[in-house]
Chains A and B, each alone.
Chain A
Amino acid sequence: MSIHIHRENIMPKHSLLAGALLCLWAGASQADASLDALRAEIRQMRESYETRLAEMENRLRLAETRAASFATTPAPTPATAPATPAPLPAHATAANSLNPEVSLVLQGSYAERKSGERAITGFLTGGHDHGDERGFKADHTELTLAANIDPNLRGYANIAFADDEVEVEEAWFQTLGLGNGFSVKGGRFLSGIGYANEQHPHVWDFADNNLMYSVLFGEHFGQDGLQFKWLAPTDTFLELGVELGRGGNFPGSEDGGNKNGAGAWAAFAHVGDDVGVSHSWRAGLSYLEAKPRDRESHVEDLNDVEAETLFSGKSKTWVADLVWKWAPDGNPKARNFKFQAEYFHREEDGDFTCVDNGPAGLCNGTTDDYDSRQSGWYAQAVYQFMPRWRAGIRYDRLDSGDVDIGLNSAFLPVADYRPDKWSLMADYSPSEYSRFRLQLARDHSMDGSPDNHQLTLQYIHNLGPHGAHRF
């Protein structure tokens, strides 16, 4: 700036032009100066990087020679821990060298069933059910993605594809580092109630769902919400959990979840341990409460015309579960046995509407009280009698219990029926990634329409990393 003023004084005549030129020059020289500074800075940065790189290379060489010397003669180790602990090794495993872990489950079946639509008599159901279709069928294809989000969180998504349908079965995050046995899961997840609820169909030991879960949840109970779990610091496994969620799925309803606050909540406790080296078990008690509004179910009226019903009120479900596993010496690879049983009791109170179902139907939109007490259970045993081969048997039994539908009993049947079903299965797993299954069933779940000869052939194949399966 001082130069500028000085020149202006010498050449006053051309001050305007000269001033402009000088301004440009001064500007340029200023730019030169800052460019130089920048260059110097870059040079400095490069030098510091080079020294750091050289340092790292040195450390690597040192580590290599140390490792080599260990191979021949054991080098003495420092008596005390190093002042700055060596960085912990990063673990590149097959499962997460691709980030995230990706796996795809292929499922399909051939089924023989009695013709006509089948329903479980005496229960209001919602949601979708697998295994009702006959003939050849490609089932849901499940895509699973999972990875650590950062050191504190893990993310997981399970997406099921079928014709004209993509369903986000699960999409959640889970904390890894809260400590003291606490963990929080948030997003869409399969509820921790019961035993089979957290299992996807490809993990089932039978080709179709048990009757209990079919009437309780359709397939299983998924929550949009939060799950809090605490694992007790005891030698015996004791886990307590609480869930708050939207309750948008059966026995809740989409309208019931559309509110400020939780449309459903659940609580569960699991206990488990080993008995000797060969036996292990887990038992649980769970409770689920949902507040559905205008929850839809489809039933046939007394004239056998399909009718839509709406339920608004409170739904309470208790589940008790037990799993017992045995393997010789606790080594399940060659032979193992698994027993699994669950029992439920459900109470629902509220208003019940049978929506007008046209001139042929009986319903006229009457709303009256609804009060039900229902229960059911299943028990199954699966035995792997030699490597690759398993056989299993399952018995399902439900009790339609006491159902009072008030004035609507003039239009709708009130069943007093105890659906039951026997299933036998045998499966063959050429490897731990593939399975072929044959299942025979005698299905008396629909009053007046027993199906004594159900046959299912099924395949389940897994592409991708090992899934670590739950107990």
Chain B
Amino acid sequence: MLSRLIFLSLLLALQCIPAARAAVNVLACEPEWAALTLELGGERVRATSATTARQDPHHIEARPSLIARARNADLVVCTGADLEIGWLPLLLRESGNPRIQPGQPGYFEAADFVRLLDKPASLDRGQGDVHAAGNPHLHADPRNLLKVADALAQRLARIDSAQAAHYGARNRDFQARMSAAIARWESEAASLRGMPVVAHHKSWTYLADWLGLRVVADLEPKPGIEPSVASLSALLERLKSQPARLILRTAYQAAKPSEWLAQRAGIPALELPYTVGGSPAATDLFGLFDDTIGKLKAASR
């Protein structure tokens, strides 16, 4: 009787193991990559993001809960280009998980598959928090998402090779839908071309590059250095000779500096979702850009 029970429970356990392994466990560093992984993997992946749209991905900590999630991940999907340098290396080392170490198939950096902008000519901390590899806020240009999706679909197919066809098919579907959406957004945003804007941080370089916005100034006096009253006053003076139409910030950046400047310069300050979850409408990557362009157009009227 006992031996039969043991046999039955073993059989049950054996059935449970593949069930537990069924989904690829993905830890994304930012919400946009969790959303993209879900687009490509569907029900085959379990993707969570280490940060939310209200958290600055430069500045979170390697919290115990994140170390526990990294421990069980099959794949980490991050931006790279040093965006997560303050916490990701520690997370990976503390995880005791060899699958997700840099150089392994379980480690994916989006920046590897995209041409980065703002590559600094010289590296000196006197220039603020400069990223040697270039500006890491690359997902704000949806054309980059197409390139990253190609590479990520291949990576998922490599990790979960039995389901390679599934990822290939979902990627083709995503590429078609995203390409069509990009064409639509581009025609909707044609009126924004050449519009001068002020950005809180270098978060909008890629969006500006895509839509042809002209970033005339940053609120931060140097990248990563928070604006002060003195630096904002100087900026206010500059805006008199070089006016801008909008001041842009992300959901995770403090509202105070842009509101301060908006009041005095007499131009609207606009919070854009920046990533998935950054506004009620930005529920996925398509909603993100629908909302971004809708808000830009409404504010520029």
Looking across the interface, which residue of chain A has its beta carbon closest to that of B176?
A74
Interfacial residues of chain A within 235-250, with CB under 8 A of chain B in the complex: 235-239
* Contacting pair B101 A468 (CB below 8 A): no
Q: Which residues of A contact B179 (CB under 8 A)?
A: 73-74
Task: Assess A431 versus B103: contact at CB under 8 Å? Given A78-B168, A330-B60, A332-B60.
Answer: no
Give bound CA distance, A74 to B164, whole Å.
19
Q: Which residues of B contact A230 (CB under 8 A)?
A: 96
* Contacting pair B96 A183 (CB below 8 A): yes
Q: Which residues of A contact B254 (CB under 8 A)?
A: 333-334, 387
Interfacial residues of chain A within 325-366, with CB under 8 A of chain B in the complex: 325, 329-334
Task: Assess A81 versus B164: contact at CB under 8 Å? Given A176-B101, A432-B224.
Answer: yes
A403 within 8 A of B: no
What is the number of residues of chain B that contact chain A, defined by CB distance less than 8 Å? 73
B245 within 8 A of A: no
Min C-beta distance of B28 to chain A, whole Å: 16
A448 within 8 A of B: no
* Contacting pair B175 A74 (CB below 8 A): yes
Give bound CA distance, A81 to B158, whole Å.
6
Selecting from A2-10, A273-281, A300-308, the interface stretch reads A273-281
A182 within 8 A of B: yes
Which of B56, B99, B143, B169 is within 8 Å of A333, CB to CB? B56
Interface digits, A116-138 against B, CB 8 Å rule (1 contact, 0 not)?
A: 00000000000000000000000
Interface digits, B49-65 against A, CB 8 Å rule (1 contact, 0 not)?
A: 00010111011111111
Which of A91, A272, A471 is within 8 Å of B102, CB to CB? A91
* Contacting pair A330 B55 (CB below 8 A): yes
Interface residues on A, range: 35 or more
Which of B67, B85, B143, B226 is within 8 Å of A387, CB to CB? B226
Task: Assess A88 versus B104: contact at CB under 8 Å? Given A73-B179, A273-B65.
Answer: yes
Selecting from A19-27, A30-38, A93-101, A251-259, the interface stretch reads A93-101
* Contacting pair B98 A471 (CB below 8 A): no
Give bound CA distance, A79 to B173, whole Å.
12
Q: Which residues of B contact A280 (CB under 8 A)?
A: 61, 63-65
* Contacting pair B157 A81 (CB below 8 A): yes
Interface digits, B72-93 against A, CB 8 Å rule (1 contact, 0 not)?
A: 1000000011100111111001
Which of B103, B158, B178, B252 is within 8 Å of A331, CB to CB? B252
* Contacting pair A237 B175 (CB below 8 A): no
Looking across the interface, which residue of chain B has its beta carbon closest to that of A101?
B89
Give bound CA distance, A230 to B65, whole Å.
15
* Contacting pair A89 B153 (CB below 8 A): no
Interfacial residues of chain B within 152-172, with CB under 8 A of chain A in the complex: 153-154, 157-158, 161, 164-165, 168-169, 171-172
Min C-beta distance of B127 to chain A, whole Å: 11
A316 within 8 A of B: no
B188 within 8 A of A: no
* Contacting pair A330 B54 (CB below 8 A): yes
Q: Which residues of A contact B85 (CB under 8 A)?
A: 93-95, 465-466, 468
Which of B65, B86, B95 is within 8 Å of A466, CB to CB? B86
* Contacting pair B96 A179 (CB below 8 A): yes
Interfacial residues of chain A within 446-471, with CB under 8 A of chain B in the complex: 465-466, 468-471
Task: Assess A273 versus B59: contact at CB under 8 Å? Given A80-B165, A388-B226, A432-B224.
Answer: no
Looking across the interface, which residue of chain B has its beta carbon closest to that of A88?
B103
Interface digits, B164-195 against A, CB 8 Å rule (1 contact, 0 not)?
A: 11001101100110110000000000000000
A71 within 8 A of B: yes
Task: Assess A178 versus B98: contact at CB under 8 Å? Given A70-B150, A90-B103, A465-B85.
Answer: yes
Q: Which of B63, B64, B98, B168 has the most CB of A within 10 A?
A: B64
* Contacting pair B67 A469 (CB below 8 A): no
Looking across the interface, which residue of chain B has its beta carbon closest to that of A182?
B96
Interfacial residues of chain A within 213-241, with CB under 8 A of chain B in the complex: 229-239
Give bound CA distance, A179 to B94, whole Å.
11
Min C-beta distance of B128 to chain A, whole Å: 7
Min C-beta distance of B49 to chain A, whole Å: 12
* Contacting pair A468 B165 (CB below 8 A): no
Q: Which residues of A contact B147 (CB under 8 A)?
A: 67, 70-71
A77 within 8 A of B: yes
Interfacial residues of chain A within 17-71, with CB under 8 A of chain B in the complex: 67, 70-71
Give bound CA distance, A81 to B155, whole Å.
8
B279 within 8 A of A: no
* Contacting pair B54 A331 (CB below 8 A): yes
Min C-beta distance of A82 to chain B, whole Å: 7
* Contacting pair A332 B59 (CB below 8 A): yes
Min C-beta distance of A241 to chain B, whole Å: 11
Q: Which residues of B contact A406 (CB under 8 A)?
A: none
Min C-beta distance of B46 to chain A, whole Å: 12
Q: Can you pick out 27 interface pairs between chain A and chain B where the beta carbons lie within 8 Å of each other?
A: A67-B147, A75-B150, A77-B172, A80-B157, A80-B164, A81-B161, A85-B105, A88-B105, A91-B112, A93-B132, A94-B85, A94-B132, A176-B98, A178-B96, A179-B99, A233-B71, A235-B69, A237-B65, A238-B68, A239-B67, A277-B54, A325-B63, A329-B252, A331-B60, A388-B226, A466-B85, A470-B90
- Listed in ascending order, the chain A residues whose CB lies under 8 Å from chain B are 67, 70-71, 73-82, 85-86, 88-95, 97, 151, 154, 174, 176-183, 229-239, 270-274, 277, 280-282, 325, 329-334, 387-388, 430-433, 465-466, 468-471
Q: Top 4 A-B pairs ranked by shortest CB distance?
A: A272-B64, A237-B64, A94-B132, A177-B98
Sample of 12 more A-B contacts, CB < 8 Å, known A80-B168, A93-B85, A277-B54: A81-B157, A86-B154, A91-B109, A94-B131, A179-B99, A181-B71, A233-B71, A329-B54, A332-B59, A388-B226, A433-B125, A468-B86
